[in-house]
Amino acid sequence: MNNVTERMLAFIDGSPTCFHVIDNLKKELTSKGYKELKENEEWKLEPGRFFVTRNDSSIISFRIPKKEFKGFYMIASHSDSPSFKIKENPEMEEVSAYIRLNIEKYGGMLCAPWFDRPLSVAGRLIVRDKKDGFESKLVNVDRNLLMIPSLAIHMNRDANSTAKYNPQVDCLPLFGDISAKGKFFDVVAKAAGVKKEDILSHDLFLYNRVKPTFWGANNEYIASSRLDDQECVYATFEGFLEAKETENTVLHCVFDNEEVGSGTKQGADSTFLKDTLLRINEGIGRTNQQYFTAVANSFMVSADNAHAVHPNYKDKADPVNRPKMNGGIVIKYNANQKYTTDAVSAAKFKLVCEKAKVPYQTFTNRADVPGGSTLGNISAAQVSVDTVDIGLAQLAMHSPYESAGSRDCEYLAEASRTFFES
Ligand code: CO
């Protein structure tokens, strides 16, 4: 594979859940000589390359150039995407013929595109180990396992005019016929290479089995699950790895739980980033005064995908600031500061794009549409630094098969590298 977009799509294909995102980043970091630090051990640091994880679903990777570094240059994105989570005791027998699985929504997804396509299950299992303790095991049942079949149009003549989805009624996936009874955790245990009786607990999610693809008259588009936000995770990560050393400590941060408000121990609203910055400062033998000086010299790029103007719904976009796919990096603005961008942080980021020779464009919501929020302002409440909110333009956000431009990922990788080098 020769371009960053292809590598990004392969990364997403291999990362069906937030736990796989972190595991895949860890593998890449370890192969490049980054040393893993544990939060429950003391940090005695020298200049070098490190990473630390929390809950196996958030990660902060960083490089310290020298003890007298100037500031923290950071890019943040999120590891999670909306999905259906498998509930406890998930199997439900129906009409003596079917086994369905009981699920609930994680995040605010579009429900309709989850129907009538092959799905499977991935996530983590907590299993007993040999010493009366437990360990975490990643699992991905790598085959077509589940389906959420639609109700036929003949039984719901209004289906095309009044679509409504009740997750407890409409969205339960079919797992098998009656012979599948009691087998769900056999399938999961086998895929994880563990014994079913050793499974103590689980965080399992549905995922779409349809592979990422290029499409369009000139292959100008891509489609994949989880472009929000793994496209940003991957593009900024390549930029991070390739950037040359400067006077700043550079950090690549990926937080879990953005889709449910970030308010968890590993989310952007946790102390994870703040704790890590403080421990870097202290671990390398600097004073508190030096810490606050460094924070004042710092900058954060919050990278989370943005809405492209939709050809069928042009009126939903702002009349002027309407991002286009392949139009470059989207800088997001909001007067009420749901996006952190202000005149200063926007100017800094525009200079980065100019230096990187990549295009940028702007997004604002219509003034009568509240819009979404993202990581930047939440993280800024914990670590208050100059921040810009950006993303890549996409359609069908929070569908299990989203579309974006095939060139934008490369722009973001290049801008990220340039940012980390500035
Ligand atoms: Co997002």
* Structure confidence at residue 131 (pLDDT): 87
User: With the C-alpha atoms ordered 234, 325, 1, 355, is the resulting torsion angle positive or negative?
Assistant: negative
Element (H, E) at 63: strand 58-64
The rounded Å distance from CA 111 to ligand 1 centre is: 17
* Structure confidence at residue 142 (pLDDT): 98
Neighbouring CB atoms inside 10 A of 166's CB total 8
The rounded Å distance from CA 411 to ligand 1 centre is: 18
The rounded Å distance from CA 105 to ligand 1 centre is: 16
141's tokens: 């049942």
* Structure confidence at residue 376 (pLDDT): 85
The rounded Å distance from CA 399 to ligand 1 centre is: 12
The rounded Å distance from CA 78 to ligand 1 centre is: 7
Q: How far is CA 102 from CA 8, 18, 130, 170, 373, in A?
A: 32, 21, 31, 11, 29
Burial (0-12, 13-18, 19+ Cβ within 10 Å), 42 = exposed
The rounded Å distance from CA 236 to ligand 1 centre is: 14
The rounded Å distance from CA 242 to ligand 1 centre is: 24
Which pTM does this prediction carry?
0.97
* Structure confidence at residue 2 (pLDDT): 61
The rounded Å distance from CA 234 to ligand 1 centre is: 13
The rounded Å distance from CA 304 to ligand 1 centre is: 5
* Structure confidence at residue 226 (pLDDT): 98
First-residue to last-residue Cα distance in the chain: 29
Q: CATH 2.30.250.10 region(s) of the chain? A: 83-208
Q: In degrees rounded to 5, what are phi and psi of residue 395? A: -110, 165
The rounded Å distance from CA 202 to ligand 1 centre is: 24
| Separation of alpha carbons 398 and 259, rounded Å | 10
230's tokens: 């793994």
- Tens of each residue's pLDDT in the chain, 422 residues: 469 999 999 999 999 999 999 999 999 999 999 999 999 999 999 999 999 999 999 999 999 999 999 999 999 999 999 999 999 999 999 999 999 999 999 999 999 999 999 999 999 999 999 888 999 999 999 999 999 999 999 999 999 998 899 999 999 999 999 999 999 999 999 999 999 999 999 999 999 999 999 999 999 999 999 999 999 999 999 999 999 999 999 999 999 999 999 999 999 999 999 999 999 999 999 999 999 999 999 999 999 999 999 999 999 999 999 999 999 999 999 998 899 999 999 999 999 999 999 999 999 999 998 877 888 888 888 899 999 999 999 999 999 999 999 999 999 999 999 999 99
The rounded Å distance from CA 62 to ligand 1 centre is: 22
199's tokens: 């499974």
The rounded Å distance from CA 419 to ligand 1 centre is: 21
| Separation of alpha carbons 329 and 363, rounded Å | 10
Domain 3-81+225-420 has CATH 3.40.630.10: yes
The rounded Å distance from CA 354 to ligand 1 centre is: 25
The rounded Å distance from CA 306 to ligand 1 centre is: 8
User: ∠ CA(183), CA(184), CA(185), 5° rounding?
Assistant: 95
* Structure confidence at residue 1 (pLDDT): 47
| Separation of alpha carbons 45 and 249, rounded Å | 13
The rounded Å distance from CA 80 to ligand 1 centre is: 8
Closest CA to 249 of 418, 67, 375: 67
Q: What class does CATH assign to 83-208?
A: mainly beta
The rounded Å distance from CA 290 to ligand 1 centre is: 33
The rounded Å distance from CA 379 to ligand 1 centre is: 14
The rounded Å distance from CA 337 to ligand 1 centre is: 17
The rounded Å distance from CA 69 to ligand 1 centre is: 31
Alpha helices in 138-226, H assignment, sequence order: 184-192
Q: CATH 3.40.630.10 region(s) of the chain? A: 3-81+225-420
